[in-house]
């Protein structure tokens, strides 16, 4: 019986240059369905560029991105989103003047209607089906008691949890997280780790970029290490932790 893993995302021989700068060179990345795949590396390694190529914000100079058999290269970001690829950005992208509940309801409309419709005249709360689903998402991330608060008044950690709820209500098949714990306190970081573990237990596929090695080793099933726009190492967390090339390029002796 064939027990080969199902590769849901394949970054196939991607090269990206900006003028004379080679931001990505010969990137071949395979992400298994239901797994958490971490991408780590020093500043300037090309991590965010790679995510932008995947979601269609930046076209590759060469190569292709394939998601579950569909070529993403050449598609617009909103078309890729409609296929089930959702990104959590480094800085939380929320609607500060809307309530926490309205923030979570809005992307649900976007998924249903194909575009964001943030008209304050629209009676969002009358959409009881989406409202109930949004409340369930807020309960999942621990913000249901703050549902009527303006999102702009939340702490950074709560804004991050709100953005996760906004992503999860879109029912992503692939969740891309760019530095999900950046700027958080250790308490908020640990809360986010537990939340992402809960998501992982549901079988959702995730790609995570993260500098905090505590977060990476708490969540990752597999790690790819970027340096100078190339993958220099890849494997299980235990394998990557002990790789001398990784220690030299990124982790440092205290992580060996």
- The mean pLDDT value for 36-55 works out to 92
CA atoms within 13 A on the CB side of 63: 23
Mean pLDDT comparison of 86-95, 201-210, 216-225, 234-243, highest-scoring range: 216-225
- Tokens 């992982």 correspond to 200
**pLDDT value at residue 88:** 86
Q: Looking at per-residue confidence, does 114 or 29 come out higher? A: 29
Distance CA 167, CA 141 (A): 12
pLDDT over 50 at 119, yes or no: no
Residue 241: the pLDDT is 83
CA dihedral 114, 119, 121, 125 (to 10 degrees): 60
For residue 178, with 0-12 CB atoms within 10 Å meaning exposed, 13-18 middle and 19 or more buried, which class applies? buried
The structural domains of the chain, with segments of one domain joined by +, span: 1-84+172-256, 97-170
At residue 255 the predicted structure's pLDDT band, cuts being 50, 70 and 90, is very low
* Interacting residues of 243 by C-beta distance below 8 A, sequence separation 6+: 225, 233, 235
pTM of the model: 0.87
The answer as to CATH 3.40.50.300 being correct for domain 1-84+172-256 is: yes
Of 196, 167, 175, 176, which Cα lies nearest the Cα of 108?
167
Predicted pLDDT of residue 127 = 66
For range 95-111, the mean pLDDT:
88
Average pLDDT, the chain: 86
Strands (E), the chain: 7-18, 21-32, 36-40, 62-67, 70-71, 85-88, 174-178, 205-209, 222-227, 230-235
């Amino acid at each position: 019986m064939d027990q080969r893993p199902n590769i849901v995302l394949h970054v196939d021989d991607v090269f990206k240059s900006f003028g004379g700068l080679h931001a990505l060179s010969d990137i071949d990345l395979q992400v298994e369905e239901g797994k958490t795949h971490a991408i780590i590396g020093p500043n300037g390694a090309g991590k965010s560029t790679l995510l932008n190529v995947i979601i269609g914000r930046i076209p590759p100079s060469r190569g292709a991105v394939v998601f579950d058999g569909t070529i993403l290269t050449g598609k617009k970001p909103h078309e890729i989103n409609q296929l089930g690829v959702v990104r959590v950005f480094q800085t939380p992208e929320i609607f500060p003047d809307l309530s926490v509940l309205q923030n979570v309801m809005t992307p649900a409309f976007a998924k249903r209607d194909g575009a964001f419709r943030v008209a304050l005249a629209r009676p969002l709360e009358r959409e009881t089906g989406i409202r109930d689903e949004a409340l369930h998402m807020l309960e999942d991330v621990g913000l249901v008691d703050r549902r009527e608060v303006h999102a702009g008044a939340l702490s950074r950690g709560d804004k991050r949890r709100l953005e996760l709820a906004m992503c999860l209500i879109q029912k992503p098949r692939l969740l891309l997280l760019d530095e999900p714990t950046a700027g958080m306190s250790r308490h908020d970081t640990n809360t986010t780790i537990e939340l992402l573990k809960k998501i992982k237990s549901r079988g959702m596929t995730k790609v995570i970029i993260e500098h905090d090695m505590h977060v990476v080793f708490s969540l990752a099933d597999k790690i790819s290490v970027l340096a100078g726009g190339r993958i220099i190492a890849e494997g299980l967390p235990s394998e990557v932790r002990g790789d001398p090339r990784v220690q030299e390029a990124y982790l440092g002796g205290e992580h060996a």
